[in-house]
């Protein structure tokens, strides 16, 4: 049986159809003080339960924990937490003394009531180890590359060296060139892209990253590309967070199209991850 949290309802519906597994509709409401109440209105004792909920923003994490606990308290046989987007994953280590390893903290509380986890493109693959229970990771980059196939892409660009591996996977599928930019993060919202001569004049470029958050990384990359004469710049990512005025920032930089998956529902969720999740769940 499948239970979809409020942030991942449409993925839950897609998965229920693909896997031919019944979808349970949660009963939920807010208490007067804003706290969440929920109930699984069906008998799930002894069943294998798949709970789908993106771990972003904070209230979605609380909802995920409550659903997992409700399933545990109802004596489900096996509980899989499907987390399309794992929030807090960018604080995956202590950058300064006194900081938490936020990704580890969130992973640990999810593990209390889940038996195993399935997630897509966590910011770093080693985050899967933080759960302490089996965690299956897969990448939606091939799905993004499939979407880009009819866009006449000449080059895939990684906005920084860390994103190069993902860009190479996409370039391989699109059979095109690949390159990367040198990015320096000054603070949470300020990005500096070191000018680097790229062979982009008159070309169609897809910038591929795992996350677009403030849009600073993608906007600076597009500005650099357009400055060097790129014809078209498509911003492609797995997880579209789009914090604050990210969309406006990216558009003002001259972006021709934005595409993301539906791990975080947003106006550019053109690529569905349910087929990938269905394959991951079948193999379990
Ligand atoms: C960084 O390591 C990530 O891969 C993304 O490049 C980053 O999270 C994007 O953030 P923003 O949109 O705020 O520049």
**Predicted confidence (pLDDT) at residue 43 exceeds the cutoff of 90:** yes
Q: How close is the Cα of 163 to the center of ligand 1, in Å?
A: 10
In CATH, the number for domain 2-139+272-282 is 3.40.50.2020
CA-CA distance, 209 to 157, in Å (whole number)? 9
> What value does the mean pLDDT take over residues 272-276?
98
In this structure, what token pair is assigned to residue 30? 């807010």
Looking at the chain, the whole-number percentage of residues with pLDDT higher than 70 is 99
Active site residues: 183
If you take atom 3 of ligand 1, which residue's CA is the nearest one?
Answer: 211
Is 0.85 surpassed by the pTM of this model? yes
Confidence of residue 284 (pLDDT cuts 50, 70, 90): low
237 lines ligand 1 (CB under 6 A): no
Q: How close is the Cα of 26 to the center of ligand 1, in Å?
A: 33
Residue 200: other Cβ atoms inside 10 A: 22
Domain boundaries, the chain: 2-139+272-282, 141-262
Strands 204-212 and 48-52: unpaired
Tell me if 2-139+272-282 shares its fold with 141-262: yes
CA-CA distance, 62 to 30, in Å (whole number)? 13
Looking at the chain, the whole-number percentage of residues with pLDDT higher than 90 is 92
> What value does the mean pLDDT take over residues 73-81?
98
User: What is the residue-averaged pLDDT of the chain?
Assistant: 96
162 lines ligand 1 (CB under 6 A): yes
If you take atom 9 of ligand 1, which residue's CA is the nearest one?
Answer: 212
Read off the pLDDT of residues 190-222 as tens digits, 9 standing for 90 and up: 878 777 788 999 999 999 999 999 999 999 999
Second-level CATH architecture of 141-262: 3-Layer(aba) Sandwich (3.40)
If you take atom 8 of ligand 1, which residue's CA is the nearest one?
Answer: 211
């Amino acid at each position: 049986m499948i239970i979809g949290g409020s942030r991942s309802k449409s993925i839950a519906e897609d998965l229920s159809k693909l896997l031919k597994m019944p979808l349970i509709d949660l009963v939920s409401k807010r208490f007067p003080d804003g706290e969440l109440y929920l109930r699984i209105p069906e008998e799930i004792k002894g069943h294998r339960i798949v709970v789908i909920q993106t771990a972003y923003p904070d209230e979605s994490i609380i909802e995920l924990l409550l659903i997992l606990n409700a399933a545990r308290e109802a004596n489900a046989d096996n509980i899989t937490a499907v987390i399309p987007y794992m929030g807090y994953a960018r604080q995956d280590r202590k950058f300064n003394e006194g900081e938490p390893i936020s990704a580890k903290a969130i992973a640990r509380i999810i593990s209390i009531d889940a038996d195993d986890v399935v997630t897509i493109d966590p910011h770093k693959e080693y985050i899967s180890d933080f759960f302490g229970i089996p965690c299956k990771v897969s990448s939606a980059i091939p799905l993004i590359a499939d979407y880009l196939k009819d866009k006449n892409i000449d080059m895939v660009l990684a906005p920084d060296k860390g994103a190069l591996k993902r860009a190479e996977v996409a370039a391989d599928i699109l059979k095109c060139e690949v390159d990367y930019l040198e990015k320096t993060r000054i603070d949470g919202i300020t990005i500096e892209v070191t000018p680097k001569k790229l062979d982009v004049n008159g070309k169609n470029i897809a910038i591929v990253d795992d996350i677009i958050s403030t849009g600073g990384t993608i906007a600076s990359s597009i500005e650099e590309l357009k400055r060097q004469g790129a014809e078209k710049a498509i911003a492609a990512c797995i997880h579209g967070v789009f914090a604050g005025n990210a969309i406006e920032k990216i558009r003002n930089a001259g972006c021709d199209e934005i595409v993301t998956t539906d791990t975080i529902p947003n106006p550019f969720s053109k690529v569905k991850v349910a087929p990938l999740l269905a394959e991951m769940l079948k193999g379990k």
